[in-house]
Amino acid sequence: MFQKILIANRGEIAVRIIRACKQMGVETVAIYSEADRSALHVQLADEAVCVGGNKSSESYLNMENIITAAVSTGAEAIHPGFGFLSENAAFAELCIECGIRFIGPKADAISNMGNKSKAREMMIAAGVPVVPGSDGAVATLSEAKTLADQIGYPVLIKASAGGGGRGMRIAYSPDDFARAFETAKSEAKIAFGDDTMYLEKYLLHPKHIEFQIIADKYGNVVHLGERDCSIQRRNQKVIEEAPSLISSKLRDAMGEAAVKAARTVGYENAGTIEFLVSGDAFYFIEMNTRIQVEHPVTEMVTGIDIIQEQIKIASGEELSFQQDDVRLQGHSIEVRVNAENPKENFRPSPGTVKLLHVPNGHGIRFDSFIYTGYQIPPYYDSMMGKLIVHANSRNEAIRKMIASLDELIIDGVDNNREFCLKILENDEYQRGEFDTGFIVRHLESLLGYDSHE
């Protein structure tokens, strides 16, 4: 086992990883930007190194400074968390070149799956169902248009390098296509420096269901069941739960496909295979080659600490369980608590936390990094934490989440607590009748609460 790990991240995931390390008796090195000098992850780690300025490009994306921090503190491994450098194959490679273990998959798995059109091609070759669309990337507008006409509208134009819900455009009709294609392409060029595009049929009312994969260096690949992440705003997840409401037959088929997908790319460590589900049909959309924001709901229903597993796998341990040992127990829901004002088009609202009160009790968990008096810097994303509950049944989990959100107080910072409460209280949500279009369909009623401020 490693003696010391550097955590190349900030916010709640850095705190989450530091806690896992402490429980395993592993020393930790935090990195931070100037704006994060007083951040919780810096306070909790055994050592902390400032790696640069406020902008992510100067600090959390600064590969040279991060590697230097690891070498100079004697850290044997780097955990990248999610976002930042977590899906950067060059960084994974650089770690290895510098004699540091990267807690994640090998660089070639990251680059193969990070290119979404390539991932699609590989899945087609492996017999994993994908959304009807182009075989891989489309080279020209006219080729794309011809294909779109064959696929049938609406068509989704996606950037191969896309992520975080960005780099996508829907073309509703042939007349729309050229403009949507060119807009998506130029957006992708600016956002990702890569304007390779591919096409998928735009599915109406799908559910987003993803499988957690865990794989060791010895070819053992196991899935830890699925999460329903259909409650989304602008293709970004807001509420996630495990398990989903699919039949056990569909779960088995999807789980098998997810394991096959991971094997196809020689996957190692934790990863997620994302599918869209429409009726009984399921389609691969992408693989995320890192820990996900929503991993806690899987931990709650399986009893497996996924971060600790990641660290054990990277240190060379064999998985201590097989597929048959994985049992899903009860139901778990996670709400992403964001510093934003839903009533002002979800405008990010960094500020100072004047008072924090966190709900507590059996099966209630708050993965966060904020504290009373903490000033949220404006430079990073707006997620302040994740409220997670676990109960015997979905109905009980919903009630527990409502009670917990009711109790949560984050004074001084606009947030989406009431908006999420409205989702949890919605009849259709409670009946399990929801898909990725839920928030858009119900937006008006979900915003129908009185603000406290």
Is 290 a known active-site residue?
yes
Q: Where are the alpha helices (DSSP H) in 265-393?
A: 295-302, 306-314
Among 39, 85, 156, 337, interactor with ligand ADP by CB under 6 A:
156
Residue 404 lies near ligand ADP (rule: CB under 6 A): no
Kindly identify the residues of this chain, within the stretch 232-271, that bind ligand ADP according to CB under 6 A.
232, 235
Angle (deg, nearest 10), helices 417-425 and 438-446: 110
- CA 152 – CA 200 distance, rounded (Å): 10
The active-site residue out of 290, 336, 394, 417 is 290
Helix (H) or strand (E) holding 108: helix 107-114
- CA 248 – CA 411 distance, rounded (Å): 43
Residue 200 lies near ligand ADP (rule: CB under 6 A): yes
Nearer to ligand ADP, 210 or 309 (CB): 210
- CA 23 – CA 217 distance, rounded (Å): 23
Among 228, 241, 286, 294, interactor with ligand ADP by CB under 6 A:
286
Nearer to ligand ADP, 94 or 231 (CB): 231
Residue 114 lies near ligand ADP (rule: CB under 6 A): no
Query: Phi and psi of 147, rounded to 5°?
Result: -65, -45
Closest C-alpha among 234, 202, 232, 272 to residue 434: 232
Nearer to ligand ADP, 15 or 130 (CB): 130
Report the nearest approach of ligand ADP to the CB of residue 207 (Å): 9
Closest C-alpha among 297, 224, 222 to residue 262: 222
Report the nearest approach of ligand ADP to the CB of residue 287 (Å): 9
Nearer to ligand ADP, 27 or 294 (CB): 294
How many residues make contact with ligand ADP (CB under 6 A)? 19
Report the nearest approach of ligand ADP to the CB of residue 154 (Å): 8
Residue 436 lies near ligand ADP (rule: CB under 6 A): yes
Nearer to ligand ADP, 172 or 371 (CB): 172
- CA 443 – CA 70 distance, rounded (Å): 46
E-strand ranges in 143-263 read: 155-163, 166-171, 197-201, 207-215, 221-233, 236-242
Which residue ranges make up the site for ligand ADP (CB under 6 A)?
131, 156, 162-166, 200, 202-203, 206, 208, 232, 235, 274, 276, 285-286, 436
